[in-house]
């Protein structure tokens, strides 16, 4: 039982990372209709910025906040410089351009910081004895902290979307850009903010993951794939779906690795894809995605 | 007329890419006046509306309340006092009725709660459905919502793009009553583009007839209603 709880919490903690990343993907997809392939790499870039800032003596939490700001600017820049000019002429080409950004950021990271993995300090107590006991199971404080961060981000996003004018504008733009223009919303600015927000969330996810996974240029490759699966599983236009999908995948991962010996970690991605296919066959728009019915 | 006019449009041309749809049309809307632009499909009605609200590129002069707004962007035009009810209503279908109206008041500084209640009082059906998604409303309710949303920024001139489209005759009648009351009770000026000649001309002070991007006739609503060619083309009456 104690092992079960430990695996459950670890799964939820990893799932929180996927959920954050999936949330970032959904924020962009809802407003722009694009899957941001560069999302994970912008996160990796931000995690290296955290590393540089902490090495220069800044506290970890402040480094993460500053790096999230960098992620905001980089991601908003991608929207303005790459996505928007191409989208007008050829929406289909945007996805190729974003794969290009993915490669470019990936290269940039290894040019600036090299290819050797480096440690990144955690914002949570992360000593050998930093455990608490949950229902008799030892659980690392950093794991619980990661889940806590997801909850805080969810509350903040909920407040943004439902209680602020900017959030209303973001929902309006996601629903109908033409009408948003007509009610005086500056659609371009709102899109820019949405991409920036997604970039900042991506950096946060990477900075939470790096202390346990090790900071390297390939930090976000696996998590990005799993987060994409989570986003599609939950429904690409549904923030709730992204969170449920992310947690579901984290827990599934922990249980497969922990309990299903013959599959183990190597078979993780194939198993995830089978689950994804099964869900999409039954519910093409994902678990929580809206089925768009266009009235003609 | 032009000295007292709120909106003065001259030589307005607009289109999409290389295709010009509107060819140098002139018209005016006076203070407290309902002006109808009558036209069949493809005459350039929606193009006129989108050009006026700054949604598409345009040439010519658009003067509003004495200011040249020919090159202004949509949000600047809205802030100047021109609001639009788009064709096909354009409600935010995934948002609640309440959020639709709040989005309508996006450019208003300060609290909009009083304005919200005023429009809920005017449209009790919307008030009953304020927490429902706009997409779940009937066509008529959505059109009322689109009108209320466009009124939230407190405009002086309301542009209505074919408001009767897809509505049952009884609902259309109710809608034109509402539009008439905006002039009579709120002192609004309205520019309505329509192909429903009967109901729109009945409330119009003046009207223009638009054919393939050119103004081909003009007169008071009553004059045009009595005109044989108009009757034949837009009311299906053959003499």
Contact A185 B75 (CB under 8 A): yes
Q: What is the pLDDT of residue A293?
A: 47
Contact list, B136 vs chain A (CB under 8 Å): none
Contact B91 A171 (CB under 8 A): no
What's the pTM value of the predicted model, to 2 decimals? 0.90
Q: Which of A158-167, B38-47, B195-204 has the highest mean pLDDT?
A: A158-167
> Shortest Cα distance from B225 to chain A (angstroms)?
32
Q: Is residue A124 part of a domain?
A: yes
Q: Is residue A52 part of a domain?
A: yes
Q: Is residue A250 part of a domain?
A: no
DSSP codes joined into one string, B132-195: SBGGGS-HHHHHHHHHHHHHTT--SEEEEE-TTTT--HHHHHHHHHHHHHHHHHH--EEEEEES
Q: Is residue B165 part of a domain?
A: yes
Contact list, A176 vs chain B (CB under 8 Å): 90-93
Name A286's Cβ contacts closer than 8 Å, sequence gap at least 6: A232, A233, A234, A235, A236, A238, A241, A245, A279, A280
Dihedral sign for Cα atoms in the order A141, A145, A146, A148: positive
pLDDT band at B237 (very low <50, low <70, confident <90, very high): low
Name A180's Cβ contacts closer than 8 Å, sequence gap at least 6: A169, A172, A173, A187, A190, B103
Q: What is the pLDDT of residue A294?
A: 44
Q: How many CB atoms lie within 10 A of CB B130?
A: 14
Name A274's Cβ contacts closer than 8 Å, sequence gap at least 6: none
Closest chain A residue by Cα to residue B104? A183
Q: What does the angle CA B76 – CA B11 – CA B198 come to, to the nearest 5 degrees?
A: 85
- Of A199, A154, A230, A192, the closest CA to residue A44 belongs to A199
Q: Is residue B96 part of a domain?
A: no
Q: Is residue A230 part of a domain?
A: no
Strand partners, A256: none
Angle between helices A141-163 and A165-175 (to 10 degrees): 80
Q: Is residue A241 part of a domain?
A: no
Contact B149 A181 (CB under 8 A): no
> Shortest Cα distance from A30 to chain B (angstroms)?
12
Contact A178 B86 (CB under 8 A): yes
State how many domains chain B has: 1
Distances (CA, A) of A48 to A66, A67, B17: 12, 9, 46
Q: Is residue B168 part of a domain?
A: yes
State how many domains chain A has: 1
Closest chain B residue by Cα to residue A179? B90
What is the domain range of residue B50?
2-90+155-234
Contact B79 A181 (CB under 8 A): no
Q: What is the mean pLDDT of residues B219-238?
A: 81
Output the domain CATH number for residue B200: 3.40.50.300
- Taking 80 as the threshold, does the pLDDT of residue A296 lie above it? no
pLDDT band at B225 (very low <50, low <70, confident <90, very high): confident
Q: Is residue B222 part of a domain?
A: yes
Q: Is residue A238 part of a domain?
A: no
B92 interfaces chain A, CB cutoff of 8 Å: yes
Q: Which letter, b or e, does each residue of A96-110 get, where b requires 16 or more Cβ atoms within 10 Å of its Cβ?
A: ebbeebbeebbeebe
Q: What is the pLDDT of residue B238?
A: 58
pLDDT band at B1 (very low <50, low <70, confident <90, very high): very low
Residues 118-177 of B with CB under 8 A from A: 149-150, 152-153
Q: What is the pLDDT of residue A292?
A: 57
Helix H or strand E segment including A59: none
Strand partners, B83: B158
pLDDT band at B113 (very low <50, low <70, confident <90, very high): very high
Contact list, A172 vs chain B (CB under 8 Å): 92, 95, 99, 103, 106
Contact B90 A182 (CB under 8 A): yes
Q: Is residue B86 part of a domain?
A: yes
Q: Is residue A236 part of a domain?
A: no
Q: Is residue B213 part of a domain?
A: yes
Q: Is residue A20 part of a domain?
A: yes
- Taking 60 as the threshold, does the pLDDT of residue A160 lie above it? yes
Q: Is residue B109 part of a domain?
A: no
Q: What is the pLDDT of residue A295?
A: 44
What is the domain range of residue A31?
2-220
Q: Is residue B98 part of a domain?
A: no
Closest chain A residue by Cα to residue B154? A183
- Taking 70 as the threshold, does the pLDDT of residue B58 lie above it? yes
- Of A144, A253, A197, the closest CA to residue A30 belongs to A197
Q: What is the pLDDT of residues A248-283, one digit of tens each?
A: 999 999 998 888 877 767 778 888 888 888 888 988
Is A277 in contact with A61 (CB distance < 8 Å)?
Answer: no
ipTM of the complex: 0.90
Contact list, B167 vs chain A (CB under 8 Å): none
Is A97 in contact with A33 (CB distance < 8 Å)?
Answer: no
């Amino acid at each position: 039982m104690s092992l079960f709880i430990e695996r459950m919490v670890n799964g939820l903690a990893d799932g929180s990372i996927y959920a954050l990343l999936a949330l970032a993907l959904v924020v962009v997809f809802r407003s722009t209709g694009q899957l941001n392939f560069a999302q994970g790499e912008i996160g990796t870039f931000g995690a290296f910025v955290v590393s540089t800032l902490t090495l220069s003596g800044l506290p970890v939490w402040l480094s993460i906040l500053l790096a999230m700001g960098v992620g905001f600017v980089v991601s908003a820049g991608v929207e303005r410089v790459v996505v928007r000019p191409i989208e007008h002429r050829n929406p289909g080409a945007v996805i190729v351009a974003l794969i290009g950004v993915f490669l470019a950021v990936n290269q940039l990271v290894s040019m600036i910081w090299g290819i050797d993995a480096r440690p990144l300090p955690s914002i949570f107590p992360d000593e050998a004895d930093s455990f608490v006991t949950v229902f008799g199971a030892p659980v690392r404080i950093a794991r619980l902290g990661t889940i806590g961060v997801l909850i805080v981000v969810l509350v903040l996003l909920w407040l943004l979307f439902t209680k602020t004018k900017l959030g209303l504008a973001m929902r309006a733009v996601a629903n109908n850009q033409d009408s948003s223009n007509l009610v005086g919303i500056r659609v371009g600015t709102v899109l820019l903010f949405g991409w920036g927000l997604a970039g900042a969330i991506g950096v946060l996810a990477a900075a939470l993951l790096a202390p346990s996974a090790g900071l390297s240029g390939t930090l976000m490759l696996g998590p990005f794939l799993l987060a994409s699966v989570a986003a599609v599983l939950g429904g690409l236009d549904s923030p709730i779906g992204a969170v449920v999908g992310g947690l579901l995948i984290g827990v599934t991962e922990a249980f497969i690795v922990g309990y299903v010996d013959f599959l183990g970690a190597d078979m993780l991605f194939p198993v995830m894809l089978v689950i994804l296919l099964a869900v999409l066959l039954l519910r093409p728009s994902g678990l929580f995605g809206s089925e768009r019915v266009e009235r003609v | 007329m032009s000295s007292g006019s709120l909106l003065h449009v001259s030589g307005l041309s607009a289109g999409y890419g290389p295709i010009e749809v509107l060819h140098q049309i002139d018209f005016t809307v006076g203070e407290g006046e309902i002006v109808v632009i009558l036209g069949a499909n493809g005459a350039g009605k929606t193009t006129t509306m989108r050009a006026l609200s700054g949604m598409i590129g345009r040439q010519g002069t658009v003067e509003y309340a004495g200011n040249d707004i020919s090159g202004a962007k949509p949000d600047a035009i809205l802030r100047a006092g021109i609001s639009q009810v788009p064709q096909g209503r354009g409600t935010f279908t995934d948002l609640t009725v309440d959020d639709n109206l709040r989005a309508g008041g996006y450019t208003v500084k300060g609290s909009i709660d009083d304005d919200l209640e005023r429009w809920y009082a005017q449209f009790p059906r919307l008030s009953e459905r304020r927490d429902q998604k706009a997409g779940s409303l009937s066509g008529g309710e959505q059109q009322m919502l689109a009108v209320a949303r466009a009124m939230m920024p407190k405009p002086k001139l309301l542009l209505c793009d074919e408001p009767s489209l897809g509505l049952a005759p009884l609902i259309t009648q109710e809608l034109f009553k509402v539009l008439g009351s905006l002039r009579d009770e709120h002192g609004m000026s309205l520019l309505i583009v329509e192909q429903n000649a009967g109901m729109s001309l009945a409330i119009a002070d003046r009207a223009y007839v638009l054919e393939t991007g050119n103004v081909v006739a003009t007169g008071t609503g009553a004059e045009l209603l009595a005109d044989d060619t108009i009757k034949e083309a837009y009311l299906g009456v053959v003499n």
